[in-house]
Amino acid sequence: MRRLADQGVAVIIISHNLQDVFKVADYINVLYLGTMVASIPTSETTSDDVVGYITGSKTYDGVNA
């Protein structure tokens, strides 16, 4: 996946395995109850933040949905 992305190919990953997501994603988009609640560059967030967005316990003000 990383090799494809490095070649300019768009890759979409849908996963709850945040370890894998953080290894290969440039951006993380989070849904909560079917609604986009966050769209964040991976370098600007943490696993704890993402879990908060997924569970609804945290909100993100810069949604680019």
The domain limits of the chain are 2-55
Average pLDDT over residues 7-32: 91
With a CB cutoff of 8 Å and minimum separation 6, the contacts of 28 are 21, 38, 39, 40, 41, 42, 45, 50
pTM to 2 decimal places: 0.80
pLDDT band at 65 (very low <50, low <70, confident <90, very high): very low
In the predicted structure, residue 5 carries a pLDDT above the cut 70: yes
Coil vs helix vs strand at 45? coil
Average pLDDT over residues 17-46: 93
Residue 31 tokens, joined: 């849904």
The C-alpha angle with vertex 47 and arms to 42 and 51, in degrees rounded to 5, equals 115
